Amino acid sequence: MAESFGSDAERYDRARPEYPRELVDQVVAESPGIDVLDVGCGTGIEARQFRAAGCRVLGIDPDARMAAFARRGGIDVEVATFEEWEPGGRAFDAVVAGQAWHWVDPVAGPAKAARVLRPGGLLAVFAHVFQPPAEVTAAFAEVCRRVVPGSPFAGESRPAEEIYDVMFTGFADAIAAADGLGHPDRRRFEWERTYTRDEWLDFLPTTGGLTRLPPDALAEVLSDVGAAIDGLGGSFVLPYTTLAVVAVRP
């Protein structure tokens, strides 16, 4: 699944949201320099944000299609998983991962980040948490049970906040256990965005459970979810929480 997102890199880049400016500014301000390694950079969404904040960014991504898209946006990218990537003696002031750290080995990842960070450098991993209105969530779960019964979306009843809290607790625990990194600091950033029906249906196919669906099944999912949004007047406000774990190499 980690290498399925490049099937429509243009849509991914268009539909996926950026990260809060406050988060980017904090990482830049707390790093000892401007060299940033972006793990799982995808199409370059956060890489472009860090570049705009004055950083020199190198991306790593296992999907050559995503890497090619990011390069078209001016980001230097090397195609590899973080575990297999060879730093070649290079060191960085920050290692960041947006919406990607769950694809990285929980033991090898923090250890490798510590090795490539300069003293005082930051490891910052972050991801968005969101839960659409109940009507949209219910319609999505119901059509997934019918069309893709094996999908995690079909049987998941826990709130997104709970799922991500468990995930980020795991990230923090693994980072705390790694040699060469200080105690992890957990942060959260609250914001919101209004989605029209078309914008949400553009976003949905970029999510992991849907990237590999055949066209007819995806069309059925989007039709049912679209009908639910129509019932809300054609748009909705989506509250976002961006969670982050930050640790310093002493």
Domain 5-132+158-193+240-248 CATH superfamily: Vaccinia Virus protein VP39 (3.40.50.150)
Chain segment 185-242, per-residue pLDDT in tens: 999 999 999 999 999 999 999 987 787 788 999 999 999 999 999 999 999 999 999 9
pTM score, whole prediction: 0.94
| Average pLDDT score over the chain | 94
CA–CA separation, 17 and 75 (whole Å): 18
Query: For the residues 78-87, what does the mean pLDDT come to?
Result: 97
Q: Quick count: other Cβ atoms within 10 Å of Cβ 89? A: 6
> If we measure between CA atoms, which residue out of 95, 126, 120, 147 comes closest to residue 18?
126
Q: Is the dihedral of CA 138, 171, 38, 123 positive or negative?
A: positive
**Where are the domains positioned within the chain?**
5-132+158-193+240-248
Amino acid at 191: W
Share of the chain above pLDDT 70, in %: 95
Query: For the residues 45-62, what does the mean pLDDT come to?
Result: 98
Q: Quick count: other Cβ atoms within 10 Å of Cβ 72? A: 12
The b-or-e profile of 215-228 (16+ CB within 10 A means b, else e) is eebbebbbebbbeb
